[in-house]
Structure 1
């Protein structure tokens, strides 16, 4: 869903402007309902080749700051910390069946969860703010 025109970003990573970001390297697309959550290209690159993804069940209630997804790579096991509070409505079974889709297209086919957000505004970063923390 990105046009890959962001070549001037640090480390030449794609950081789509229409998304919001957490300091824990998750992205949120709040322009749709339920909101879509995934990991950033930076996080995918840091993890290396993903070999296992443990997703929560739809209907699971999550709070911002909860560890909601376990990502396992050849390098490490890393939890995804939820950037938002709400209820998981959908999970990306394709990503759990073939974790390489996450590293191959983290902002598109590699999404992880769709969460029906609570009414409170999540405390997230815009693309420029996120770019500063990964320099």
Structure 2
């Protein structure tokens, strides 16, 4: 029943990986977003793909900044308006990933909530810039 796509000849699904290599600038921070189709398929589609990506990136940036400020305030630290991504922790990334997969809270990014169920999985990987004093600048 559920594995029908695996039994059809010719095969509908391929086990051949689709791999892309990108050279990263060692002086920049990066955020890698790995998510299932349940996340990507419900992004607002009334924009171009570039605009959809920009909307999601803006949401992620604002979320990371807000979480960092909240964490600082909870720890009694000075809250400033500067975005310091070096303070991104695994907990912050996990919290933001949870918000992404619970689409009801991200109306500015998604065209609908969880009215229709699809698997929603998201991983956020923060790749910090390499220190200027570091010997290696290969990422």
Per the normalisation by structure 2, the TM-score is 0.29
Which structure: greater strand fraction? 1
Higher RCO by CA contacts (8 Å cutoff, separation 6 or greater): 2
- Structure of higher CA gyration radius: 2
Per the normalisation by structure 1, the TM-score is 0.30
